[in-house]
Amino acid sequence: MDYALELRYQSLLKQLKEPFGPDIDLQVLLFLIGVEELGKGYQQFKKHEKTDLMHVAICTVLEPYGYYKFEGKDPDEWPHFTLQKDLPPLTESEQQALMKEAIVEYFEHHGYSTKHVQP
């Protein structure tokens, strides 16, 4: 386990719990990123749109790692990506660590500090 990454991730969660509630987790973070990248603000989304938002978020956070490339937006302003390279086979814990790192990097890039915050 990468303790430095886990501290950064926990710091991010601590900052986001106040505005978004105590049950924030990887899925919620991906949803928030998807909503942000869509750029239309929060609204009621249909089930398939929520799934699409999660996909947009995954592509967005993995783009800096070279896995996806942003291609543009469709007429409804939804972002589209193309797969650049397949993810290597990962265990569940390795996949979770990659997503935590990518999410932390995304939020740091968007102005959040993930320096360790005392409880």
Average pLDDT for 57-71: 97
Q: Is the pTM here over 0.85, yes or no?
A: yes
Domain that holds residue 57: 3-109
User: Quick check: is 68 in a domain?
Assistant: yes
34, 57 Cβ separation under 8 angstroms: yes
DSSP helix, strand, coil percent of the chain (3-state; round to 5): 55, 10, 35
User: Quick check: is 47 in a domain?
Assistant: yes
Sorted by sequence, the CB contacts under 8 Å of residue 89 that are 6+ apart come out as none
Whether the pLDDT of residue 2 is over 90: the answer is no
User: Quick check: is 55 in a domain?
Assistant: yes
Sorted by sequence, the CB contacts under 8 Å of residue 56 that are 6+ apart come out as 33, 34, 37, 38, 78, 79, 81
Q: How high is the pLDDT of residue 114?
A: 65
User: Quick check: is 10 in a domain?
Assistant: yes
Whether the pLDDT of residue 116 is over 90: the answer is no
| 12 or 113, which is more confident | 12
User: Quick check: is 114 in a domain?
Assistant: no
Domain count, the chain: 1
Whether the pLDDT of residue 118 is over 90: the answer is no
User: Quick check: is 118 in a domain?
Assistant: no
72, 80 Cβ separation under 8 angstroms: yes
Whether the pLDDT of residue 117 is over 50: the answer is no
User: Quick check: is 117 in a domain?
Assistant: no
28, 44 Cβ separation under 8 angstroms: no
Sorted by sequence, the CB contacts under 8 Å of residue 102 that are 6+ apart come out as 61, 62, 64, 65
C-alpha to C-alpha distance for 74 and 97, rounded to whole angstroms: 31
Average pLDDT for 52-57: 97
User: Quick check: is 43 in a domain?
Assistant: yes
Q: How high is the pLDDT of residue 115?
A: 62
Whether the pLDDT of residue 99 is over 50: the answer is yes
Among residues of the chain, what percentage have pLDDT more than 90?
A: 76
